[in-house]
Amino acid sequence: MSSGKVLLGVLAGMAVGAALGVLFAPDKGWNTRKRISKKGEDIADDLGDKFEEFLDSISVKMDEVKEDTADFSEKIKARANGANRQSYSKF
């Protein structure tokens, strides 16, 4: 399972749990709505932060892959050049 799906599932579960907890709490309607709104804002902020962290981690991984690909490409070029030099020296 990908980390993005796990993160989304955890955050969705937190949102549902918080909303149900507030809805079943014995309190006045206006206060309950206020608490739901506040919890929603908090969860949205947390989700935004987690999403940015996720995007940052993907960016870091992409940079690593680019570097690894460039290194691999250079090694292949060096081997190809070495093989070409050897075949020229045989003539």
pLDDT tens for the chain, 91 residues long, are: 677 788 788 888 888 887 787 777 777 778 877 887 888 888 888 888 888 888 888 999 999 999 999 999 888 888 887 766 665 555 5
Q: Is the dihedral of CA 57, 59, 60, 62 positive or negative?
A: positive
Please give the pLDDT value at position 86.
64
| Whole-prediction pTM | 0.47
Please give the pLDDT value at position 87.
58
Please give the pLDDT value at position 37.
84
* Residues spanned by the domain of 67: 3-89
State the Cα–Cα distance between residues 45 and 35, nearest whole angstrom: 15
Please give the pLDDT value at position 17.
83
Please give the pLDDT value at position 43.
84
Q: Domain count of the chain?
A: 1
Please give the pLDDT value at position 65.
93
